[in-house]
Amino acid sequence: MTTIRLTTHIDAPIEYVFDRSRDIDFHKNTASKTQERTIAGVQSGYISMGETVTWKGKHFGLWLTHESLITAFEAPKYFVDEMITGNFKNFKHEHYFTQTGNTTIMKDALSYKVPYGFIGVIFDNLFLKSYLTRFLKTRNAAIKVSFH
């Protein structure tokens, strides 16, 4: 199991940051490098508790799909999306939000397990973990600048 933890400070109200983090349209715009688009479930607007979204995007030169379900939701403090179907053995992304003064502290905890045994672990260590970390940092940076 691999876990990526990030903390991002954003000079915006907690409600704004929370909503941007679950905004399907915003994600499509910020993930344009991977040509991500929705193919099922919630396809526009905000995703909420019990709802699903299926993404299709190009990663490592391959078209991949990933279906997620929102399994926990407490606005504007916390939500969790978990993979239902996709290319991981399991995948869970926890989003935490707190506000201090005019700053929202957004914390990501992304935990996943790769398939393919030892080969999968090598791929994760050499490529996947850093790729997913960059993907999250890019999304978080987009949220950060979108308020201004």
pLDDT, tens digit, for every residue of 40-77? 999 999 999 999 999 999 999 999 999 999 999 999 99
- What is the per-residue DSSP string for 47-91? --TT-EEEEEEEETTEEEEEEEEEEEEETTTEEEEEEEESSSSEE
Domain that holds residue 20: 2-146
Domain containing 113 — which CATH number?
3.30.530.20
Per the prediction, the chain carries an average pLDDT of 96
How many domains does one find in the chain? 1
pLDDT, tens digit, for every residue of 91-134? 999 999 999 999 999 999 999 999 999 999 999 999 999 999 99
